[in-house]
Amino acid sequence: MHRQHRFTLTQILFFILFVVNLSIWIAQAQNLPPARYDGFVYENRQGDLDSILIEAFFDPVCPDSRDSWPALKEALKHYGSRVWLVVHLLPLPYHDNAFVSSRALHIANTLNSSFTFPLLEQFFKHQEKFYNAKTINLSKSSIVKEIVKFATVAVGNSYSSVFESGFNDRKTDLKTRVSFKYSTSRGVFGTPFFFVNGFVLPDAGSPLDYHGWRSIIDPLVGAKSSQRINVPHFI
């Protein structure tokens, strides 16, 4: 599958049309904001006001999302509690199985938040199973069954029936749609897309390597350390 960071005009126009139609649907289906903020917190490592927040927008079946993950994961390990990550899902409409795989992640997160990132990594590792060309002759129900089997291998076979029923639960469908709408409300139009402390990083749609993350985060960590050192003490 070709990489998606070189967005064509046709893809962008199709995406805008898709967003408009989906926004109308969600506006009719949901009049109130969602009960909780969108996104999955990595390792339940929720930071405080002194922590640096990275927000990543991923599509589970996007090659560039997959390629960006190892470097980001390595950076998170390096910085520890000084940095925390929230992943938002943007199922791109030109990836046929993006929505159903994103929905599987919402189901996993509902069952146990510790399942979410192992399943995301499994999607990245075996992504080619769900590329458009590989599933072109499968029905929607067949793809859902394949996703259920795939997901239960990652989280445990005992969850097979629960996972299957999750695809019949309208709440998981709505959560996935809300994730899409949230992403587009932030101006995100492709994956991967990154924000640091609320500011978008350049080169949207392209993976960022470990040294790239270090060049962005190191000055911020240094600035926070300097602020702590220079705080005046009053007697």
Beta 40-41 vs 83-89: how paired, if at all?
antiparallel
Name the pTM for this structure.
0.83
Q: Where are the domains of the chain?
A: 9-216
CA distance 76 to 83: 7
CATH superfamily of 9-216: Glutaredoxin (3.40.30.10)
Measured CA angle at 100 (ends 21, 156), to 5 deg: 155
At 20 the pLDDT is: 52
CA distance 120 to 102: 9
Strand locations in 197-234 (E) = 199-200
Q: And the tokens for 77? A: 């390990």
Query: Residue 139 carries which side chain, given as an amino acid letter?
Result: S
Q: Are 71 and 210 in contact (CB under 8 A)?
A: yes
DSSP code for 35 = S
CA distance 210 to 222: 18
Nearest Cα residue to 27 out of 186, 188, 177, 190: 177
Residues 6 or more apart whose Cβ sits within 8 Å of residue 87:
39, 40, 42, 55, 56, 57, 58, 117, 120
The pLDDT profile of the chain, 235 residues, written as one tens digit per residue, is 444 445 565 555 555 555 555 555 444 445 567 788 999 999 988 888 889 999 999 999 999 999 999 999 999 999 999 999 999 999 999 999 999 999 999 999 999 999 999 999 999 999 999 999 999 999 999 999 999 999 999 899 999 999 999 999 999 999 999 999 999 999 999 999 999 999 999 988 888 999 999 999 999 998 766 555 444 444 4
